[in-house]
Amino acid sequence: MVARVKKVQQQPARRTAEAPALKTVTLLGATGSIGSSTIDLLQREPDRYCVEAVTANRNAGALARLARELGARVAIANKECLVCAGALFMRRAGAAGATILPVDSEHNAVFQALMSGRREEVRRVILTASGGPFRTFSLDALRSVTLEQALKHPTWSMGPKITIDSATLMNKGLELIEAHHLFALAPDELDVVVHPQSVVHGLVEFRDGSVIAQLGSPDMRIPISHCLGWPTRMATPAPRLDLARVGSLTFEEPDPVRFPALALARRALAQGGAAPTVLNAANEIAVREFVGRRLGFSGIPALVEATLDAAARRGELAEPESVEEAVAVDHNARRLAANLLPEIAAMAS
Amino acid sequence: MVARVKKVQQQPARRTAEAPALKTVTLLGATGSIGSSTIDLLQREPDRYCVEAVTANRNAGALARLARELGARVAIANKECLVCAGALFMRRAGAAGATILPVDSEHNAVFQALMSGRREEVRRVILTASGGPFRTFSLDALRSVTLEQALKHPTWSMGPKITIDSATLMNKGLELIEAHHLFALAPDELDVVVHPQSVVHGLVEFRDGSVIAQLGSPDMRIPISHCLGWPTRMATPAPRLDLARVGSLTFEEPDPVRFPALALARRALAQGGAAPTVLNAANEIAVREFVGRRLGFSGIPALVEATLDAAARRGELAEPESVEEAVAVDHNARRLAANLLPEIAAMAS
């Protein structure tokens, strides 16, 4: 179910008069891009952080278990836990009194912006999307996009799965579902705006008309340090934002015709139940097939849509009541997507 | 000393189980642009706000007195109190336990953004400036600017004094001095960026590299409502910000050659003592003379600079220790500016 598990867990240690509090950090997924940035930060403050355990694996269960067992702070950089079993995850974290800190630059930005008001004063949360490498491509041009083109993200350097998700905008769709769970927001309280410069990472609109935004250079050490240091802010060596040098920040509506993945994620979010789990599973199969050059770029959302439709027809969209049920939904959806693949690949080629 | 006093003062009333807390509002300066917007908001919630007194006058002392007497919240939309006697004002407000809430859109934005972190985590506060109607004018073109041109502000509709201060950028210089007092910031922790769309009103850069900004439609009801409702946010009828419709937000460094007023204010801020009081007094005389068509547009900063130089030579820049001393400095500086006027007017014409 989970391709990448990248997570930092902290626990405040006994504070003495002589030394600042030592935080014990367990780093699951130390080899990925988030893990490397985290290690860079930890090494700069050896007196404040003690790395207890470092792993690189595919086990999502450990995350929920840690939250349950420790009543601690859990910094989450992993989308799939929340997308596939968000209600379960947040319920268990809540029961354990764990604070979930999002490492993702967009959700971390929203977390920071939310500090300027109260939950009931929030009118809307807006995630920014770079728009990916094909932002300006025509519908025709999108059909003949190559794997090499899709692997070049304009702003962030990341693994192939998330880079392709950024190109289809499915990444932003998954982030909407994440935000729904992390911040307890209704689908109509969530929005996306395309912002190619990736300087504004997220915004919160309050009911007075104030919009609070978090901006910064595209450097993951900023959101990671926010999770490590929270509720205080650490100094980081991230490049300082110079708005006059950036010159211009642009914003546009995402185009639902050229990028249907975002609308599919919105549909799954509105449907609720297991729909987001099915969406995610089908997308993982679709991206794997695209990377294997067995499915065209526009086949990715087509396969996701066909899988969602088929799962709905089969009555397989009930809310998973346990992690085991979520895993079963995931497996069934993958099989469904694999079965639908030949037809979709032929249609989209 | 003070040309406009526009202020809202609130005091929490006894809260009963049946009704929400009634706030008593004293509105000094109800006829100006800020006063009108405030009344618009108060009329929408007659059950929450009780207007105790409404005045329109030129008496700045009342403001400090109210803060002193009530230990209450004071919403301040008046620059001159802070520019001319900022240290005194903040000291008295502090002693009285009064919370100073800034109504100015820029300072209110900073106040909101500061809620995302702690004072010691702030690296820099950045005020935005529209750049005024002459942002793109050459140095030559600036010399022949007319009064009518200077009275047209690109974004806000305000009185003539502040509109002309916006055109010279002196307004932003005075706001830097205000921010220095309001937020206890050193001169090198304060910056200005020109942002013609006036959508981002202020930004706070924290030591982790995060920049928190407040954005909104240019509608004074947003910052006013923030002061009225604080620490909660009221719903307002202000137009919602639609970033995709705005399309582009641009930023540039202010040009110190074409707009020397900002550098003069920075110099006065760095000098401290009575220098900001002298700067403000000389600027008031200069703007009055420009409005009277007796001084050219580029004569405004020239007169301010000459007055600052003369006051420094005469040893008249010691920190005022009382409101009376600040008033005396102000009077002397006005006389000095009036004496220097013929020479500067001749040079700048």
User: Which of A212, A221, A243 to mutate: most B Cβ within 10 Å?
Assistant: A243
Q: How confident is the model at residue A59 (pLDDT cuts 50, 70, 90)?
A: low
And the tokens for A219?
Answer: 């450097």
Note the pLDDT tens digit of each residue in A311-344. 999 999 999 999 899 999 999 999 999 999 999 9
Please name the residues between 212 and 241 in chain A that touch chain B, using a CB distance below 8 Å: 212-217, 219, 221-222, 225-226, 229, 232-236, 238-241
Q: Is the pLDDT of residue B134 over 50?
A: yes
pLDDT at A68: 53
Note the pLDDT tens digit of each residue in B215-255. 999 999 999 999 999 999 999 999 999 999 999 999 999 99
Chain A partners within 8 Å of B248 (Cβ):
248-251
Distance from CA of B198 to the nearest CA of A (A): 13
Residues B9-17 have a mean pLDDT of 36
Residue A142 CA, chain-centre distance (Å), reads 24
- The residue whose two tokens read 């185009």 is A255
Note the pLDDT tens digit of each residue in B73-99. 788 887 888 998 888 888 888 888 888
The H or E element containing residue A26 is strand A23-28
Chain A partners within 8 Å of B203 (Cβ):
215, 243
Q: Is the pLDDT of residue B68 over 60?
A: no
User: How far apart are the two ends of chain B, measured CA to CA in Å?
Assistant: 28
pLDDT at A131: 94
d(CA A240, CA B119) in angstroms, rounded, equals: 18
d(CA A282, CA A238) in angstroms, rounded, equals: 36
Asked if B117's CB is within 8 angstroms of A233's CB, the reply is: yes
Which of A28-37, A171-180, B63-72, B134-143 has the least mean pLDDT? B63-72
Percent above pLDDT 70 for chain A = 85
Q: Give A187-205 as a DSSP string.
A: GGGEEEEE-TT--EEEEEE
Domain ranges of chain B: 2-77
pLDDT at B12: 35
Q: Is the pLDDT of residue B51 over 50?
A: yes
Please name the residues between 179 and 208 in chain B that touch chain A, using a CB distance below 8 Å: 193-195, 200, 203, 205-208
Q: Is the pLDDT of residue A129 over 60?
A: yes
Asked if B239's CB is within 8 angstroms of A251's CB, the reply is: no
pLDDT at A31: 63
**pTM attached to this predicted model:** 0.87
And the tokens for A72?
Answer: 């601690």
Residues B60-67 have a mean pLDDT of 55
Please name the residues between 241 and 280 in chain A that touch chain B, using a CB distance below 8 Å: 241, 243-244, 246-253
Percent above pLDDT 90 for chain A = 65
User: Which of B121, B198, B243 to mutate: most A Cβ within 10 Å?
Assistant: B243
3-state SS record for chain B: CCCCCCEEEEEECCCCCCCCCCEEEEEECCCCHHHHHHHHHHHHCCCCEEEEEEECCCCCHHHHHHHHHHCCEEEECCHHHHHHHHHHHHHHHHHCCCEEEECCHHHHHHHHHHHHCCHHHEEEEEEEECCCCCCCCCHHHHHCCCHHHHCCCCCCCCCHHHHHHHHHCHHHHHHHHHHHHHCCCCHHHEEEEECCCCCEEEEEEECCCCEEEEECCCCCHHHHHHHHHCCCCCCCCCCCCCHHHHCEEECECCCCCCCHHHHHHHHHHHHCCCHHHHHHHHHHHHHHHHHCCCCCCCHHHHHHHHHHHHHHHCCCCCCCCCHHHHHHHHHHHHHHHHHHHHHHHHHHC
Residues B279-298 have a mean pLDDT of 96
Beta bridge partners of A74: A9, A100
A285: CB partners within 8 A, 6+ apart: A303, A307, A334, A337, A338, A341
Percent above pLDDT 90 for chain B = 65
Judging by beta carbons within 10 Å of its beta carbon (0-12, 13-18, 19+), is residue A21 exposed, middle or buried?
A: exposed
Q: What is the mean pLDDT of chain A?
A: 86
Would you call A317 helix, strand, or coil by DSSP? coil
pLDDT at B64: 56
Q: Is the pLDDT of residue B53 over 80?
A: no
Q: Is the pLDDT of residue B6 over 50?
A: no
Q: Is the pLDDT of residue A239 over 90?
A: yes
Q: Is the pLDDT of residue B70 over 80?
A: no
Note the pLDDT tens digit of each residue in A281-321. 999 999 999 999 999 999 999 999 999 999 999 999 999 99
Residue A340 CA, chain-centre distance (Å), reads 26
Chain A partners within 8 Å of B103 (Cβ):
none
Residue B5 CA neighbour count, 13 Å, CB half: 19
Of B116, B217, B248, the CB nearest to A116: B116
d(CA B336, CA B331) in angstroms, rounded, equals: 9
Closest by alpha carbon to A77, among A45, A29, A26?
A: A29
User: How far apart are the two ends of chain A, measured CA to CA in Å?
Assistant: 28
d(CA B34, CA A300) in angstroms, rounded, equals: 54
